[in-house]
């Protein structure tokens, strides 16, 4: 039953060659091949040959399409490639030194200057990031102090005390005006 469902699905999707379902043989061919039917065996073999023949250009078209637009490569790692080449009889050879002694001296001097310069630049960047973090924490502490002070006040008592002072000032001004 599963093979019948698979065949029905393959026939339904079979018009799209990208999926490769048109290479799925009929379950009847499998059953006949199990019994030794030569035509069923030949039909299955022809489908497999057609699939192998058709996969070669599709691999090249996939490589052109996806690999040209992707930073990921589908090639095996260099270690596996080297092992496969060694099994095929090749020998690994280290590349010969193409650079002269003068270029080695120049590269050594560049490394002597560049490595400390990049180290200092990296440390300066870390120091700047640390200063920004500390400044951020300082402002956060100040803001939390202001919030704590604002919510810790008895604003009703402060208002009544302020109004008492204002009343005293108003009564002092009015008494000063009455004396004149």
pLDDT value at 88 more than 70: yes
What tokens appear for 40 in the block? 């069923």
pLDDT in tens, 105-131: 888 999 999 999 999 999 999 999 999
User: What pLDDT was estimated at residue 66?
Assistant: 47
Confidence class for position 77, pLDDT limits 50, 70, 90: confident
State whether residue 62 is helix, strand or coil: helix
Sign of the alpha-carbon dihedral angle for 146, 148, 150, 154: negative
Confidence class for position 67, pLDDT limits 50, 70, 90: very low
User: What pLDDT was estimated at residue 60?
Assistant: 47
The reported pTM is 0.34
Confidence class for position 52, pLDDT limits 50, 70, 90: confident
Identify the CA nearest to 82 among candidates 90, 70, 94, 74: 90
Q: Chain-wide mean pLDDT for the chain?
A: 82
């Amino acid at each position: 039953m599963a093979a019948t469902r698979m065949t029905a699905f393959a026939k339904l999707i079979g018009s799209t060659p990208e999926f490769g379902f048109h290479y799925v043989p009929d379950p009847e061919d499998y059953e006949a091949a199990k019994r030794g039917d030569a035509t069923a065996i030949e039909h299955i073999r022809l489908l497999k040959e057609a699939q192998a023949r058709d996969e070669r250009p599709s691999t090249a078209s996939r490589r052109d399409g996806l690999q040209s637009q992707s930073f990921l490569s589908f090639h095996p790692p260099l270690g596996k490639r080297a092992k496969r080449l060694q099994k095929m009889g090749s020998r690994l050879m280290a590349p010969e030194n193409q650079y002269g002694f003068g270029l080695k001296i120049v590269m050594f001097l560049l490394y002597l200057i560049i490595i400390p310069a990049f180290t200092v630049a990296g440390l300066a960047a870390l120091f700047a990031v640390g200063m920004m973090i500390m400044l951020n924490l300082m402002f956060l502490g100040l803001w939390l102090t202001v919030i704590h002070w604002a919510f810790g006040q008895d604003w009703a008592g402060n208002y009544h005390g302020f109004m008492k002072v204002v009343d005293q000032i108003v009564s002092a001004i009015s008494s000063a005006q009455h004396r004149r």
